[in-house]
């Protein structure tokens, strides 16, 4: 659901900045055809992650934190912040960073369903918008050998949940329930494009 966080005023076209250094989000946003720049939000996420927040609320607050941080440096721009939280059995699964942690995460998820909460916040001088997208993924029962072969082939160590669904990771799943496949990669393009159109942007 799209919700307004500020005043409802007509928006003049402004420079678009994606508050992210993620190569995945950059490649996704490229698909919409808008000219844009990327900038590292340079925020400390740990205080929010230490709070006992629902994972969807955590993703939303983190996306807003990133957008506001970059917007504070570019008050005449439209800034997009995004974050994603992988959630399994009351546990948030972070980016694994290495083989051992990734293997442990995939073993936990094997044969189970987990959720990905992807949130986006947009900041402009006139208005702020935010929305979330939820995907439920059902992972097959995986053997240790399958997990190890997958990790060695795909190396998904910079991905929440330890898989790249846009690559070989698709083979790990029996079913995926989603409204927008791009949300899994980190940026729900359908909702984002609708939000930009609402703000007066047209590619």
Beta bridge partners of 50: none
**Sole residue written with tokens 């006139």:** 126
Q: Are 94 and 160 in contact (CB under 8 A)?
A: yes
3-class secondary-structure state, position 174? strand
Count CB atoms within 10 A of the CB of residue 6: 12
Is 76 a residue of the active site? no
Q: Which of 8, 30, 44, 83 is catalytic?
A: 83
Cβ neighbors of 129 (< 8 A, separation 6 or more) are 2, 3, 4, 5, 121, 122, 195, 198, 199
- The catalytic residue positions are 83
């Amino acid at each position: 659901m799209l919700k307004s966080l500020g005043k409802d005023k007509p928006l003049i076209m402004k420079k678009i900045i994606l508050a992210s250094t993620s190569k995945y989000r950059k490649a996704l946003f490229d698909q919409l055809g808008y000219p844009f720049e990327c900038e590292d939000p340079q925020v400390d996420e740990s205080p929010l992650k230490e709070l006992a927040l629902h994972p969807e609320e955590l993703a939303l607050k983190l996306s807003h934190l990133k957008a506001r941080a970059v917007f504070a440096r570019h008050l005449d721009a439209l800034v997009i912040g995004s974050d994603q939280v992988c959630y399994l059995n009351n546990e948030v699964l972070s980016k694994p960073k290495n083989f051992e942690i990734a293997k442990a995460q995939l073993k936990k998820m094997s044969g189970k369903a987990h959720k990905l909460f992807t949130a986006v916040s947009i900041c402009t001088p006139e208005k702020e918008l935010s929305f979330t997208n939820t995907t439920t993924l059902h992972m097959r029962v995986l053997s240790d050998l399958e997990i190890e072969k997958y990790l060695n082939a795909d190396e998904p160590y910079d991905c929440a949940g330890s898989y790249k669904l846009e690559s070989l990771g698709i083979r790990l799943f029996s079913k995926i329930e989603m409204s927008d496949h791009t949300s899994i990669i980190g940026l729900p393009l359908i909702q984002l494009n609708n939000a930009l159109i609402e703000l007066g942007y047209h590619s």
